[in-house]
Amino acid sequence: MVHLDHIPEDASPVSVSQAGLIRLNGPARAIALDVLRVNSLQTGAYVSHFRGRGMEFDESRPYQPGDDPRSIDWRVTARSTTAYTKLFREERERPVLVVTDLRANMHFATRGCFKSVNASRAAALIAWAAHHRGDRLGGIIFGDTVHRELKPRLGRRSALRFVHQLVDHPDWQTRTDADDSDALTQAMSALRRVARPGSLVVIISDFTDFSRAAQAYLSSVARHNEVLAVHVSDPLERELPPPGRYRLVAADDEMAIDTFAAAARRDYENDYAERAHELERFCQRYGVHLMELSTNDDPVSTLQTALGRRNP
C-alpha cells in the first residue's frame, strides 16, 4: 500500500479544492512526461516507452526496408507503382490531452478518498507536469450530465484553467439516478474528434461501461497518438472484506451487504477480474499504456513510480 504522503492530512476525501490541486504544481515537477517507462503495475510484464514529443507530417518518400508499416502513405501509394512512407518532424510543443472521469460511479470509496478525488489529483499532476515540460495542455472532463472540452493551450494559465474546470465541474454536486451508460462512449467519441496525431492522451477513469463503441473510438485514437490509461479502483471493488455484514453509507442513502456466501464472493471477485483483464487485453492489443491507481494510493508516488522521475 502507498500512503498519501504528498496529500495534506486535512484534505477532503470526497471533494477537491482549487488550492489543493494548485499545490500539486510542485510535486509535478518530478514526474517525467518526455521519455517515460510505463509499467503495468498489475502484470509487471508490460513495459514500454512513450515516443516523446508530438510529430507533424513533413513529406513522403519511397518505402524502405525497416520502415514502420504504420507510416505508409496510402494516398500517395495508391497513385504510384511503389509504396511510400510518411516522414515526420518534431513539433515544438506536443499537445497533451487529459481525459478525466467524474461520473457517479467515480464518487465512491471505502478507503482513502473517492475515486473521483484521486482521479482529479492525478489529472492535475499530469497537467502541471505538461506545463513544466512546455507542452500544450487540453482535455475532456466529463460526468453523467456535463461534458467539457478544453482546447490545448500553452503556459501556466492553461494548467490553472484545467484545474479550475476540474473543481468547478457540476457533476461534483449533481447526483442523478439516470443510468447514462453512454457517457464514457461519448467522451471517447469526442476524444477521437479532437486528438491531433502525435498527442499524448491520458485517460483517468474506472472504465465502467467501457463499451465496444468506446473501445473502437479509443483504438482509433491509439493508432496516431500515445495513450496512457490510468485505471482507478477501490479495494472493495477488487476483493470483498472478510465474511460478515457491512453497512455502506452515502449522502442520502445506506445499504447493507452480506459477504458470508462463498459462491457469491467468488463470483464477485471473478467478475471484477474479468473486467480488469478485458481492459488489460485491450491495452496490449492497441499499444495503450496501462497503470493502476487505487483510492488509497498517493498519486504523486504512484505516477513517479509508473512513469519515472524527471531529471532536475
Cell numbers for 227: 495513450
Q: What are phi and psi of 56, to 5 degrees?
A: -120, 135
Compute the distance between CA of residue 63 and CA of residue 255 in angstroms, rounded to an integer: 63
Site of grid cell 509504396: 83
Amino acid letter, residue 295: T
- Name the 3-class secondary structure at 44: coil
Task: Write down the pLDDT at residue 45.
Answer: 35
Compute the distance between CA of residue 33 and CA of residue 309 in angstroms, rounded to an integer: 9
Cell numbers for 285: 492489443
Compute the distance between CA of residue 271 and CA of residue 136 in angstroms, rounded to an integer: 39
Amino acid letter, residue 181: S
Task: Write down the pLDDT at residue 39.
Answer: 42
- Name the 3-class secondary structure at 143: coil
Task: Write down the pLDDT at residue 37.
Answer: 46
Task: Write down the pLDDT at residue 55.
Answer: 56
* CB-based contacts of 157, cutoff 8 Å, min separation 6: none
- Name the 3-class secondary structure at 182: coil
Task: Write down the pLDDT at residue 53.
Answer: 46
pLDDT in tens, the chain (312 residues): 344 566 766 688 999 999 999 999 999 998 888 644 444 434 333 334 455 444 556 678 888 777 778 778 888 888 888 898 887 655 556 899 999 999 999 999 989 999 999 999 999 999 999 999 889 999 999 999 999 999 999 999 999 999 999 999 999 987 655 555 799 999 999 999 999 988 999 999 999 999 999 999 999 999 989 899 999 999 988 877 677 776 766 656 676 776 767 777 777 777 888 999 999 999 999 989 899 999 999 999 999 888 876 655
**Total-model pTM:** 0.79
Task: Write down the pLDDT at residue 71.
Answer: 79
